[in-house]
Each structure stands twice: as structure tokens, then as C-alpha cells.
Structure 1
Amino acid sequence: MELSRHIRIVIGFSPGSASEQVARTIAPALSGALGREVTVSLRPGSNGADAACEVAGSPSDGATLFVATLGTHALAAHLDARLPYDPLRDFAPVSLLTKSPLVLGAHAALGIPSVRTLVERARAHPGELTYGTSAIGGAPHLAAELFQALTGVEMRHVRYEHTERLYDDLRTGSLALSFNNMMSMLPRCLDGTIRALAVTTSRRSRAAEDLPTLAQCGIPGYDMSNWLALVAPQGTAEAAIQEIRQAIVTALADPEVGAALRRGGVDPIGSTPHELAQFMAAELARWRPVVARFRDTALSPPP
């Protein structure tokens, strides 16, 4: 079956998400490599589940693809026993797109210059500091819950429907903290209203080498990266999968695309479908015991 002349990449989150930013960065080069129109469509809702279900139920002709995330394909199944899709069985893996750290950012006027100061403040005032996310059970939420579990602090979760509103509140001080994707967080730290404190990966990012890792800040064992992958409805023909995968590798190798991603602290990957299948299964297993430690807290509605 020949690929459709129009390919739609569906994003499960609001404008400003890592999924949208990476997809829009890659889409023009992907379109050129495929010789087909590639559009990015936002379908926010239910922490990415609405979009995942839409793509899983789409015709398996390669015309509709989904940007799978750490949240939708490694965390959600452990948080919701009634998840309306299976992250492995309902999708055909195409390629791992990117990996990147999250950045812990704080409202500058809080007077928190370091992670050590943050931990001291949070211990002295349990439940007072707020942290924001735009999804329950996404990478930023996991990052915050992991931070609390490893430091023994208690912070208050504020859930936002829109990422841009989260950043507005972080700038004005209505929100104290956020773990968020580097591509969107770093540019917002330039005007001094948000202070970047650390990255979540075990190594510093080449895009912000002055930022320490959380492990370097005295939280041993802290290591997590956000990842994005492209998947298709299960049953999509192997020929279509391979054609799209090869185009992704070509797009990610484009110098302008690579430079734009790396400036935002995002590493382009470009795996085979088999490698992605193994990676997602490993991530699903890796985070199961971690999520189990804070599942009840994570699912509690914010006050």
C-alpha cells in the first residue's frame, strides 16, 4: 500500500509541550524526505489518552501517527488500570525521535538560588511550595514526584490545562516551581523572572553546561530523561513503517533540524522500529516500581 499524500502527526498535549515543539521542528524536513505533506495536529485531553486512542483507532495506512511520550507509553499504564489503550499492543513502533533532560525552574523572586536551598525551604514548610505540570503522570509530574521521594520533602501539585498558562504563573510567582522540558524552559529563563536550578539527567546538558545535575546537587540516584517517539496504529504495513522511519532518520540528520534541537537541549536519536519496541518495553518495566511508590499521591486531585 502506498503512503497517503498527507500524513498527520497527532500530539496529545497543549501548545508549548515538548511533543509539539519537537514535531514542528522536524515536520518540514520530514515532509521533504517523504515527498508528502506532513502536518502537526494538537488533540489535548486526558493526559494524552484522547490522542492516543484516536491514533490507535485510525486506519493502519501510515497516514496518522502519534508522538508517544514517557508519560503516555511508560507511566500511564501504571497510573490508570482502566487506561483505554495498551501502549505496546495498540501501536506499531516507528522510531525513537529524541531524548532530553527536564529543567527544574523556580520563580526568581522566591530567593531560592540552589537545589540545596530549595530542599531546606521545602522541609521547613511542608506543602507550602507549589509545582506545576500540564499533565497527570507525564514526565514533569514524574520528575517532581521522584524529587519528593528522594529528598523526603512535600510540595503541592497544581495541574494546568495549558502549558503557556503554567509559564505565565511561574513568571509572576503565582506558581513556585516546575520541572519542564528544556526546549521551552531555558528561553523563558533569559529575562530573569525564572531561575533554572538543575537538570534531571545524570549528565549535564551541552545546551546549558553551567546547570548542575540533581545528583550533583546532593540527590544521589536522581536520573530521568524525557523521550519522544513516533508510533503508528497497530497493523500498519512494514513497508510503510520503514519508509517513514527512513525519512525520520533523514530529517533528524538535517543540519538545521539537528542544530535547532540541540540548542534546546534535545538530542536527536532516530532508531529502528525494533530498537524502539525494546526501548519502550524496558521503560515500561523500569518505571513500574517507581510509580508504585507514589501512585496514590500522584492521582490525588490538587487542592
Structure 2
Amino acid sequence: MPAISLWRATLAAIALATVTAGAAVAATDWPSKSITLVVPYPPGGPTDIVARSVAQGLSEELGQTVIVDNRSGAGGNIGAELVANSDPDGYTLLLGTTAHAINMSLFKNLNYDTQKSFAPISLLTQGPLVIVTRPDLPAKNVGELIALAKASPGKLTFASSGNGQSTHLSAELFNAMAGTRMVHVPYRGSAPAMTDVMGGQADLMFNTMLSSMPYVRDGKLKALAVTSAARSAAASDIPTIAEAGLPGYEATAWNGLLAPAGTPDAVLQKLSAALKKVLARPALQKQFAQQGFDAQWMTPADFQKFIDNEVKKWAEVVKVSGATVN
């Protein structure tokens, strides 16, 4: 090898070794400052509630403050894009949801790829949605809701936490399977959508049990059915949609933790280990269970497989429902 080529190769090897060593040291020292957890929805909604509980637990396990940063809009895409373009150093994380699997097929142009732009850390929670209506809606069960919707095509409205959310596509799947034509009204998060259902500005919503059930118990909302295949332990008196009049229907919602692609594996493993402890806390498990969610930890590899399966599953739902977002 010519001397000049050997010299260049040596410099390249030294540079690579320096970068690799620097990354290793950074991963070893991580976290040395506060961590930002981006929640792509407004404060007060179900995703925000999960995020703040998990952030507190991670703060205690990691010894650094985990700050929740709400960046809502565009069906969860604004927050996701922000994290996808952040430095892959473990200091900016995303509270990912079912929507980020749905958006892959629902939106024509995304500035991130759910399967490639992020490094998966773990699933956090999973659970059914519940159909809640304004208290005076003249439908006491799923069968009556279907009959009411068919009697007035295009008049019943369903609110959602935004285009592409599970609260949107679950209702679109219902429309497709029941042969109804309820009209979608998207909001910038679950909390404002639910407020309008309670106020009568929208007729119903497919919402998480975490944020809906307190209002159901107070009589401010009426619960018709849950979207899971089996009844929820958090409200065993509420039937499933399948048993209440629409056989074969099933949909669930989830939350998970993601980092930008390229985040050092050592950092991901530290986060994974900390999350395993947080999600195993009895108090946290009880808190989520009371609201219809199961706390579920996964390895990064298993969570990647989970995401891949979700993207595929919801692509089929988007196709069946005919839902699109420009």
C-alpha cells in the first residue's frame, strides 16, 4: 500500500476509534442531565396521563428529571417528527401510540417512518377503548346505536383525539363493519374531544377507558361497549362491541417509549431496565388497571416486532374503512 494511502487509512481508523470511544463514554455517563419526554398530544388526555406517571417513575429510577413536553397536532405527527430529528443521545424520547402505527398507511406524506426513524425501548400500556356518548343520546346499547345511525345517515358525529388516532380508526372500522355513516370530527387531543361529547357538540367517541370512565361513573357520559375481544376487568358490566351487536369487532390502544434511531444500545438498555422496574410497581399497575390499561414491559427487540405487526394490522383497517388523510 502506498505511504499516502496507509497514512489516510491510519487517520480514518483513529477517527473511527475516537468516535466509538466517545459514544461509549457518553453512554456510560448517561444520563448526566434532564431528559425530555415528548408527548404528541395536549395535557390531560390519556396519553399524557400515562406519560406523566412513567416520567415520574423514570426520574426516580434514573436519578434525573424527566420533563414532559406536550407537542400536539397533526394526529401525533408533529411530536413524532420532532423526536425523529432530535440528536440520538437518549435525552429526547417519544411517547408513541397506536396512531404512529396507523399513520404509516393513513397519511400520504410523512416526514418520519415509525419502523425506521425510532429505536424502540418498550411497550408501556395496552387496553381497550370504550364507546361513550352524550348522556341524552337515544341509544342505550350498540344495537340501538347502529339503528339510530342507519336511520339518519351522516347526522351522528363521533369525536376523536385527531386524524389517524385509534379513537378515529376504531370508529371508522365500526362504520365499515356496521354499515353506518357516522361523521368524524377530529380534535387536538382526547380531552377537548371528550369535553365536547359531554357538552353535546358531538354525539359520541371511541375513547380510552383511562380518561373516560371517571366521567361515566359521574353520569357525564354514557358507556355502551368496549372495543376489546373480552370484557375489561376495570368495568366488567360493560359488554364488548362484538357481544353487543357487532360480531368480530376488536380494536385496542397502546402506548410505548421510543428514542431517535441511532441512540446507543447502552442507553436503550439502561432505559429498558429502568422501565421494567417502573412498570412492575404495584401502585402503577393498580393505577392503570383501574382505568382499563395493562402495564406491559417488553424488550426493545420484542417491541420492534410488536410495532411491525401493528403497522401491518392497521394498514388493513385503513384499507377496509376507506379512511384517508391528505
TM-score interval for Structure 1 and Structure 2 normalised by the shorter chain:
over 0.9
Q: Which moved more, 1:224-233 or 1:286-295?
A: 286-295
User: What residue in structure 2 maps to residue 150 of structure 1?
Assistant: 177
Q: Distance in 2 between matches of 1:279 and 1:157?
A: 28
| Map of 1:222 onto structure 2 | 249
User: Which residue of 57, 61, 64 corresponds with 1:36?
Assistant: 64
What percentage of aligned pairs have identical amino acids? 38
**What TM-score does the superposition give when structure 1 sets the normalisation length?**
0.95
Residue in 1 aligned with 2:318?
A: 291
Query: Rg: which structure is higher?
Result: 2
Residue 19 of structure 2 corresponds to none
Q: Distance in 2 between the 1:178 and 1:60 partners?
A: 37
For 1:271 and 1:161, how far apart are their aligned partners in 2?
29
Structure 2 residue 24 is the aligned partner of structure 1 residue 18: no
> Hey, what's the Cα distance between the residues in 1 that align with 2:188 and 2:306?
29
Match of 1:63 in 2: 91
Structure 1 residues 1-303: aligned runs within 5 Å: 1=26, 2-4=29-31, 5-72=33-100, 74-295=101-322, 297-299=323-325
> Which string of whole-angstrom CA distances, capped at 9 and with x for unpartnered residues, describes residues 168-188 of structure 1?
221122211000111001011
What are the Cα deviations for residues 96-143 of structure 1, in whole angstroms up to 9, with x where unaligned? 111011010011111211111101111111111110012101100011
Cα shift readout 1:55-79 (whole Å, capped 9, x = no counterpart): 111111111100111111x110101
Which residue of 1 is the match for residue 6 of structure 2?
none
Deviations 1:132-170 (A, max 9, x none): 012101100011001001100111111223433322221
Asked if 2 retains the 8 angstrom alpha-carbon contact of 1:145 and 1:298, the reply is: no
Find the residue that maps to 1:207 and give its secondary structure: helix
Question: Could you tell me how far apart the structure 2 residues matched to 1:34 and 1:284 are?
Answer: 31
TM-score computed with the length of structure 2 as normaliser: 0.89
Q: How many residues align?
A: 298
Aligned-partner Cα distance in 1 for 2:171–2:189: 18
Q: Partners of 2:165 and 2:189 in 1: how far apart?
A: 14
The Cα of 1:18 is off from its aligned counterpart by 2.1
Q: Which amino acid aligns with 1:87?
A: T
Cα 1:272–1:162 shift into 2, 3 Å: closer
Greater displacement, 239-248 / 187-196: 187-196
Distance in 1 (CA, whole Å) between partners of 2:158 and 2:265 is 43
Structure 2 stretches lacking a partner, 5+ long: 1-25
Moved over 6 A (4+): none
Task: Work out the CA distance in 1 between the residues paired with 2:321 and 2:300.
Answer: 32
Partners of 2:158 and 2:184 within 8 A in 1? yes
**Equivalent pair of 2:118/2:258 in contact (CA under 8 Å):** yes
Alpha carbons 2:162, 2:189 under 8 Å: kept: no
Task: Indicate conservation of the 8 Å contact 1:10/1:64, yes or no.
Answer: yes
Task: Give, in whole Å, the separation in 1 of the partners of 2:191 and 2:88.
Answer: 33
C-alpha displacement of 1:298: 4.2
Cα deviation for residue 16 of structure 1 reads: 2.6
SS of the residue 1:28 aligns to = helix
Matched residue, 2:10: none
Q: Distance in 2 between matches of 1:49 and 1:193?
A: 31
The CA distance in 2 between the partners of 1:263 and 1:86, in whole Å, is 33
Q: Secondary structure at the match of 2:172?
A: helix
